[in-house]
Structure 1
């Protein structure tokens, strides 16, 4: 009996030992298997261009201080043919994301080239390049100096109604802008000229029908993009059927969503579907869309619900100038800027006054610090901005004078002549 008991103990010990060794071996096998899977996944991720691009963007965002992030969210204007101390301060101290030039900044070809080169040189110490932007629509809204190719209004182009010519015009404009050092154009207009009393749009529109505006506007956008210039389509959700100029008042459009979908929004939806990189907002009230009667620029119903969520647009949303009377006469500009960001805008345009530009940046910082604007929301916009700058290869390299040879050349004039055949 005693021998049997000893034998049983020996057998149980052997079995227990086997189980322990077996479990240990199994655990080692599972750990090794898991490690190999993780290594394989990691290798797969690092071989994936989308993963690498996302990681690069996130690293760039993590490298920015709050002030630098907020600076990226504003495009400013200034006075003069040269960089003045106020504008230099905005670049050096506030790390602004971009600049817009107007007629007040442009004297002649050499001066414009030198101005854009000096802007880039001053910005070269900052972490990110600038949007250097302009309104070059053709017709009565043109900024480029004498000697550049001067196209007629979009109304004239709309009468010709040739998609290929519209594309070529966009590419010519983009090519000449690029030669001067611009990388962004606030064009084309996608507003439908459906109200004869509308003087602010008028002949800036391609026409009175959605199809013409949609087709020609998107073709022009594509031409600009293929010249490696960012096209900002405007004025979303449509400024065509207003009789008030938003530079001096606040227009109201009393249409419901169904009407907008079937008319005003058609050109914008087409542009988004065909790869629009950026959209500019209109300072117009749509009371049947936003019962709070906020201008589209400040309306989450318009910018986030329609443009972001319904249309899945993940490009950059830029406001029209916040110093226009449609905003300035009805809101504090700094508060309106915050509302625009909360509504879904990524970049706020403040074109004139240094004090207003600084107030906007300070108010955004204040809202972040007190928790009214989350860092997540700020990072969303900054990510879109950096992504767009990376896509177009923006940098601080200066342009050479010889690059201006393309401006107003015979090839470009031939495209202009096609409009009058």
Structure 2
């Protein structure tokens, strides 16, 4: 562990202006990186007084920029390496580092063999039980603290009111502002009970777009009045509650800034709206500055970081040119402006290190027990014809599943005639389907994201659509509910949304199938297709 964190009063006097600027930078570091890159980061920390680092699994999985270009290598020892790297980077830094990570649904978002909790959309389906959401925030915070993480860059408080959103979707609690607010508040309070800092994102609201800001610049065409009533509403309420930090997304909102520049470099959005009008006095952090929505417009190294800082940013996340950015800020900004951001960041760091000492919080539930309770409360049924559901369950149905990587215990439990559908056996299963009027279809989508029909090959998707059109199908969906939009469901179709493929969720789905439990959840979003 590096030197003990000194008070802001002492830091204000002892740190040089260049060191203070260095404290505003949060470069990305990668758990599965080369020794050469690790050594480079150590040198960067030592020579630039970097204030924070944000961990990612690997360069191949760091952002959508890299999807499909580099293979993500599985490493079952990532967690131990993660803890070793934290210790190594802390040792390399003269000033204690603020350690951050995206752990929206747990460290499993970045690290193998760590507890995974349900996605936000699953938690949004839970009705009148924010205690469970609180427990998720608390468990994630305990996992973070155990590993040496201070700052979980979560939760997403975007209202996902666009079914075609390629990047938020399942990461949002839903499309209702009140549900998003109450769930976000419970999640944040859960983290706060353990002493882990949070960051609500992606201001001013990334929900109503069909553009992925990792790849291009989303433009939100809404009036300020409309935004205030919806997208900005949970941010404003959580700011009143004293949230630690707000992450600004790469979004152009012409009604807020007619220049059409991203919010991350907009004085009107960061300083005039968020800081002054909405009264936020905490830390403002950027979304990853390597994302193409902004990075492609700033070819000069360090210019993007200086522009974001000038607009009112406090922390430059995923800065790929930290040394150059520090220099440009020193050249273009006043000492008073630098001190303003330094004070906010150092105060956050003080809170993080003070809370780190309070490590006697213990879980009341295991991750498995918590996931099971959420499953019982989240499973949602969308029945077009309840009589037909009973008919399916009591019939000699075809037990069919489309699996991905998950072990399918659900289909094995519900009965015989079990067939796993794939591109290799479409003809065989098609002949079997001729022998049955009823089908129980378990869907395990290949991808949680909507790109390319959630990873379903078109030929396989076409087969499912024909099956749904011609047979009495009872569908159990172990994945993103937006999958239903690509299935051509009818008004009489019957679907049960299980949301997750965890063993606990599969077991409770089976209990639902045998009528041992009722479906208590409510779909937290609206689908493009008919609402069953």
When you count helix as a share of all residues, which structure comes out higher?
Answer: 1
Match of 2:271 in 1: 304
1:366 deviates by: 2.4
Q: Is the 8 A contact 2:248 2:264 kept in 1?
A: yes
Q: How far off its partner does 1:286 sit?
A: 0.6
- Equivalent of residue 211 in structure 1, options 178, 181, 187: 178
Offset of residue 206 of structure 1: 0.4
Aligned to 1:277: 244
Task: Give the Cα–Cα distance (whole angstroms) in 1 for the partners of residues 50 and 173 of structure 2.
Answer: 33
Answering whether residue 304 of structure 2 is matched by residue 339 of structure 1, we say no
Unaligned 5+ runs, structure 2: 1-5, 60-74, 377-532
Q: Secondary structure at the match of 2:26?
A: strand
2:121 is paired with a residue whose SS is: helix
For 1:91, the equivalent position in structure 2 comes to: 45
**What does 1:176-191 align with in structure 2 at a 5 Å threshold?**
176-191=143-158
Question: Displacement, 1:139?
Answer: 8.2
User: Residue 54 of structure 2 aligns with which residue?
Assistant: 100
Q: For 1:40-189, what aligned pairs fall within 5 Å after superposition?
A: 57-79=8-30, 80-81=32-33, 84-104=38-58, 107-123=77-93, 126=94, 128-138=95-105, 142-146=109-113, 148-161=114-127, 162-189=129-156
**Are 1:279 and 1:316, in contact at CA under 8 Å, matched by a contact in 2?**
yes
Alpha carbons of 1:231 and 1:306: their partners in 2 closer, same or farther (altered >3 Å)? Answer: same
Structure 2 residue 317 is the aligned partner of structure 1 residue 358: no
> 2:348 maps to what in 1?
388
Q: Secondary structure at the match of 1:93?
A: helix
Q: Is the 8 A contact 1:139 1:154 kept in 2?
A: no
The separation in 1 between residues aligned to 2:264 and 2:158, in whole angstroms, is 16
Pick closer, same or farther for the CA change 1:116–1:173 going to 2, 3 Å.
same
Partner residue of 1:290?
257
Question: 2 CA distance for matches of 1:58 and 1:180?
Answer: 29
TM-score, normalisation: structure 1: 0.78
1:140 offset after TM fit, Å?
11
Q: Verify the 8 A CA contact 2:102 2:109 in the aligned structure 1.
A: yes
Distance 1:108 1:336, change over 3 A: closer
Q: Relative contact order: is structure 1 or structure 2 higher (C-alpha 8 Å, sep ≥ 6)?
A: 1
Match of 1:348 in 2: 316
The 1:90–1:227 alpha-carbon spacing in structure 2 relative to 1, beyond 3 Å, is same
Aligned to 1:317, the other structure's residue is in SS state strand
What SS does the aligned partner of 1:392 have? Answer: helix
Per-residue deviation, 1:341: 1.1
Aligned length: 349
- Counterpart secondary structure, 2:58: helix
Q: Is the 1:252–1:286 Cα contact (8 Å) retained in structure 2?
A: yes
What is the TM-score with the length of structure 2 in the denominator? 0.62
1:254 CA drift (Å): 0.9
Aligned-pair CA distance for 1:211: 0.6
Q: What's the Cα RMSD here?
A: 2.6
Residue in 2 that maps onto 1:313: 280
CA contact (8 A) 2:117 2:371 kept: yes
**Kept in 1: contact 2:195–2:355 (CA 8 A):** no
Structure 1 unaligned blocks of 5 or more: 1-54, 368-372, 398-402
Residue aligning to 2:367: 412
Bigger Rg, structure 1 or 2: 1
Q: Verify: 1:323 aligned to 2:277, yes or no.
A: no
For residue 394 of structure 1, report the CA deviation from its aligned partner.
5.7
- Partner of residue 197, structure 1: 164
How far apart in 2 are the matches of 1:271 and 1:141? 26
SS at match of 1:231: coil
Moved more, 221-230 or 67-76: 221-230
